[in-house]
Structure 1
């Protein structure tokens, strides 16, 4: 989760170029613009040496320091945790955003990249979106979510193979069913434990728990969709608009036409988060069964002659807009049958 930078301007800015084994650190003094560079190992001992070096330069590496770095996946994780634990303000910026601000560049040099990041942060520090401790929780939820997806795929693969074999060769199918029984039970148990651990992380984070409760107040939104939305929207700090979120999930309809000769059907884009779209689709399917207002809407539109998939896509959009509304409002969803 991210939050706007504190009104107090930082005294020092760190531009860090992160690689698998090393950190190129550029320290910029906000008072005079002076920049110093040093290289450290990307591990706990390297972080300690970096802190000692910063202290020699007069930087205490606390609230007065803003650290800017590019998203580089797992390689930034240890450093981010180390800095957040010491109250350093951490700004994770898109590499593309930094490159676009600089203009055309040639070559690649870690030292120069660190200087460019520091210069970018110095110029755009008022636009900084800093990580909060909830960002660490979301990071762990994302890892658990990915693990849950892998377990589901393994379960589906085993069960589908057994089911198909039982239909064409019952003897071999029963043999596979027998030898894989423990494996299937083990995978199902692991999935349950992963889901329990996800709930525990949410319970420990007050802000995430508040938003999770708001999401699940919308009938049809279960724990899987709620956690997925929290992870992919960074706790609803990245996409606070229903239309943008619908585009990201691949359920926003777009026209396809040009002039008077090209008149294609209105449809959704293929550029989408397919995993989130699948979870949202399952939630919409449940909603038209158990959410009375969406069920009424679905039946009415289908009765008017609309295709079921088209109406179901509209239900997915309505679910997303309901979700965004409760998060913005900060109060649980209230059922009103005259909504539609």
Structure 2
């Protein structure tokens, strides 16, 4: 099978065809996608590209619809692969060649596009995060303005109106996300909502993990989130302090950490873990990360068993 590496950006993408050993550049739009497909016509190919923000999604989806074999790779993996190969030159053409060589050496898993429901939920979640950041900025400004009595009245008035409008839009987004999640992830949502400490963050859970469909073990899920323990040691002299890897999904890791605050009081298994680790003198942050990991495993278990949260099973685990 012929391997093609693609280095993609917002406006264009560079390709290297390993069989022909030559580069081509196309525009990153529908006409460019069609021209690329014509360029590789009648060839059995494996197309490899990086998951470079939203830039890759259009091309990858188009190629998938054309029944081509596509793999999408984490950019950090390609960067580390280039370091391993001692790559000294970085251009778009060289990056495409590096991606192609990675595809030949590693044979990455095949990609399939996210469902329409998940794409919609991710866009809504991204919009919500942006609105929350805007509201935090306005709240900080309002507090700073109130320190000065001579502040223009109009400034406070506009700030208040903008905050109310943002709150209104966040509420609209929350309702839409809830509708989509209940419609397309009904069983998973019902199971997650039975876990004490998860609450309405279940919507973000199913959005980020696609209802846990991408994972066949809790260990792989924890690795994806970046909440599994990391060990850094070598020989007898290097003994790094243990910590979580953080090479994962920061959004879900943040959500789990926030959930751990209430789970240590309301979730029996997490409460038991909190008391045990507290008695050993563990720092509060370490305990909350352990509880977050426990919550993640509980969420995975209720989904795979297709059953509600069971207090006895959670305490026995």
* TM-score, normalising length: structure 2: 0.72
SS at structure 1 position matched to 2:26: strand
1: CA distance between counterparts of 2:7 and 2:74? 12
Number of residues paired by the alignment? 311
**38, 47, 60: which is aligned to 1:80?**
60
1:34–1:197 Cα change, 3 Å: same
Aligned equivalent of 2:137 = 157
SS at structure 1 position matched to 2:54: helix
Aligned equivalent of 2:162 = 183
Aligned equivalent of 1:106 = 88
The answer to whether the 8 Å contact 2:268/2:315 transfers is no
SS at structure 1 position matched to 2:86: coil
The answer to whether the 8 Å contact 2:231/2:243 transfers is yes
Q: What does 1:11-50 align with in structure 2 at a 5 Å threshold?
A: 12-27=2-17, 33=19, 37-50=23-36
Superposed CA RMSD: 4.5
1: CA distance between counterparts of 2:290 and 2:76? 33
CA drift at 1:187: 0.2
Aligned equivalent of 1:54 = 40
Task: Show CA shifts across 1:145-194 (max 9, x none).
Answer: 3322221122233335545766x678969976544332122101221233
1: CA distance between counterparts of 2:138 and 2:90? 46
CA drift at 1:308: 8.2
CA drift at 1:79: 0.9
Q: What does 1:124-273 align with in structure 2 at a 5 Å threshold?
A: 124-125=106-107, 128-134=108-114, 138=118, 140-162=120-142, 178-199=157-178, 201-202=180-181, 206=184, 211-224=188-201, 226-228=203-205, 230-231=207-208, 235=212, 237=214, 240-242=217-219, 245=222, 248=225, 252=229, 268=243, 271=246
The answer to whether the 8 Å contact 2:257/2:292 transfers is yes
1:317–1:75 Cα change, 3 Å: closer
2: CA distance between counterparts of 1:255 and 1:105? 26
Aligned equivalent of 1:320 = 296
Q: Which has the bigger relative contact order, CA under 8 A and spacing at least 6?
A: 1
The answer to whether the 8 Å contact 1:249/1:276 transfers is no
Larger mean CA deviation between 42-51 and 13-22 belongs to 13-22
Structure 1 residues not aligned, in runs of 5+: 1-10
CA drift at 1:280: 2.0
1:295–1:165 Cα change, 3 Å: farther
CA drift at 1:142: 3.8
Task: Show CA shifts across 1:209-242 (max 9, x none).
Answer: 5545544442321343552575279956479444
Task: Show CA shifts across 1:272-317 (max 9, x none).
Answer: 766544422331222234435544665x549958578265444323
Matched, 1:287 2:263: yes
1:263–1:320 Cα change, 3 Å: same
1:21–1:319 Cα change, 3 Å: same
1: CA distance between counterparts of 2:273 and 2:88? 56
2: CA distance between counterparts of 1:98 and 1:303? 41
Structure 2 residues not aligned, in runs of 5+: none
SS at structure 1 position matched to 2:25: strand
1:200–1:16 Cα change, 3 Å: farther
Larger mean CA deviation between 168-177 and 146-155 belongs to 168-177
SS at structure 1 position matched to 2:14: strand
